[in-house]
Amino acid sequence: MDLLNQNLDETDPELFNIIKNEKSRQMTGLEMIASENFTSRSVLQALSTCLHNKYSEGYPGQRYYGGNEHIDEVERLCQKRALDTYGLTSDKWGVNVQPYSGSPANFAVYTALVEPHGRIMGLDLPDGGHLTHGYFTEKKKISATSIFFESMPYKIDPKTGLIDYDQLQKTAKLFKPKVIIAGISCYPRNLDYKRFREIADENGAYLMADMAHVSGLVAARLVPDPFEYCDVVTTTTHKTLRGPRAGVIFYRKGIRSVTKSGEIAYDLEDKINQAVFPGLQGGPHNNAIAGIATALKQAQSPAFKKYQEQVILNAKTLAKALQERQYTCVTGGTDNHIVWLDLRPLGLNGSRAEKVLEDICIACNKNTVPGDKSALNPGGIRLGTPALTTRGLKEKDIEKVAEFIHRGLQLALDVKSRSGPMLKDFKAKLAEDPEFQNRITELRTEIQNFASLFPLPGFDDY
Ligand code: DSN
């Protein structure tokens, strides 16, 4: 048998079939996980090229292996497009396109800028921040960031749901972090990078933005620009940016006087590049770097800007439609692609909501909401519009989606009122009660029919 020259369906029908089922799941339901998207055919084509075969440890022009002339071209093209997409020039900014994804990118920045057990501050996970910004609990250091560095979270104001910058200012003065992270994974509001910069300057700290969630919106110039105020900006490339699963780090070059006590020297280039390789990673994933390059080319187009405008319009429409049905959106709405629902006023938790929505083919994730005691039993869900917008849904369609979500959550409430106190009781009732099963089937069929109105051109080909 010629192992090299067979199609996947011939060589491995078992795996092929699983992938086919996943493809069908992605199309027959409504994908509302805020960090997910459907990437383009050109990105998937770049990912499936011979670039995958090549080892190229090092950086363009300085590799540890031979045969990298074309790989160097790919990486340089990607770097140039990364700077161009965000309106940056190579005299002021450099970029590393090798991180495998967002978590390694963030860890590389801390490794570069903060000594072991040095201090960082990020938005707390239950308040809309990200694991890699330093999450830990009373019992356990959860993220490696909090194992190898000392992290102190800043919080949102529990009444408004908005970041409490005054509290951050006070605690930063006491904690004296080396890096302050301005970044989100659930917070649906724009960040005040200017205020973050002022607080960083008062403490001689670096300011790092993690724009992973909003990097597509930043590229389209629809949300505040982190590059104006930050020293370092990290991102993944597969969320709103709609590229391959990978990460990027931007860093400032040159010297900038920022503190009363002196200058922060931007000798970031070597530190960051060395932290990525050889510090934390081995050979770069060259097919992913090519995928980033082609995604960034698309991100500079008028069509991409229009797409991002629709992402925000759709999220605002979703928040409003849910609020009209008496649901509580944390912060009262959204500026970006995320709607953060607090279900506690309803007497429902995130796990039950996620389960019923999953059963009716709406994919979203349970999420902590401000004040939650445990990330394992979160009080809300996070919804996002990037993937549905890629499928072509507009405001009037999102109104329908809001109604589906409402019906799903009402069903979850009914199940909860007739089941025991534990999640397993809830799941058992849902699975066994014919009335609930009928309602699930009815809603699922309606949603699948609705989803079929929004095919993705060419999706079946890849
Ligand atoms: N897992 C991504 C998200 O859902 O936001 C970020 O790491």
First to last CA, the chain: 25
Residues 213-229 have pLDDT tens digits of 999 999 999 999 999 99
Which pLDDT does position 122 carry in this prediction?
96
> Is residue 35 in contact with ligand 1, taking CB distance under 6 Å?
yes
Q: Which of 145, 248, 215, 249 is nearest to 153 (CA)?
A: 145
361 noted as active-site residue:
no
Ligand 1 mean position, distance from CA 134 (Å): 14
406 noted as active-site residue:
no
What does the mean pLDDT of the chain come to? 94
How many Å apart are CA 361 and CA 33, to the nearest integer?
12
Which of 130, 133, 213, 238 is the catalytic position? 238
Calculated CA dihedral for residues 276, 281, 283, 286, nearest 10 degrees: -60
Calculated CA dihedral for residues 140, 144, 145, 149, nearest 10 degrees: 80
Please state, in angstroms and as integers, the Cα–Cα distance from residue 339 to each residue in 181, 347, 361, 413, 430, following that order.
Answer: 22, 19, 18, 20, 26
Ligand 1 mean position, distance from CA 304 (Å): 22
Which pLDDT does position 131 carry in this prediction?
86
Least confident of 85-89, 137-141, 328-332: 137-141
Ligand 1 mean position, distance from CA 212 (Å): 9
Contacts of 313 (CB under 8 A, 6+ apart): 394, 395
> Is residue 126 in contact with ligand 1, taking CB distance under 6 Å?
no
> Is residue 188 in contact with ligand 1, taking CB distance under 6 Å?
no
Which of 78, 186, 230, 364 is the catalytic position? 186
Q: Which of 457, 2, 33 is nearest to 213 (CA)?
A: 33
- Identify the residue whose C-alpha is closest to ligand 1 atom 4: 35
Q: Which tokens go with 290?
A: 């090519």
Tokens 């849910």 -> residue:
322
Residues 119-172 have pLDDT tens digits of 999 999 889 888 899 888 878 888 888 889 999 999 999 889 999 999 999 999
Which atom of ligand 1 is nearest the CA belonging to 103? 7
Please state, in angstroms and as integers, the Cα–Cα distance from residue 405 to each residue in 365, 370, 447, following that order.
Answer: 13, 22, 10
> Is residue 143 in contact with ligand 1, taking CB distance under 6 Å?
no
Q: Which element (helix H / strand E) includes 248?
A: strand 247-252
Question: Under DSSP, is residue 224 helix (H, G, I), strand (E, B) or coil?
Answer: coil
Ligand 1 mean position, distance from CA 254 (Å): 32
Mean pLDDT to the nearest integer, 297-309: 98
Q: Where are the beta strands (DSSP E) in 385-459?
A: none
Report whether 195 contacts 340 (CB < 8 A): no
Ligand 1 mean position, distance from CA 50 (Å): 29
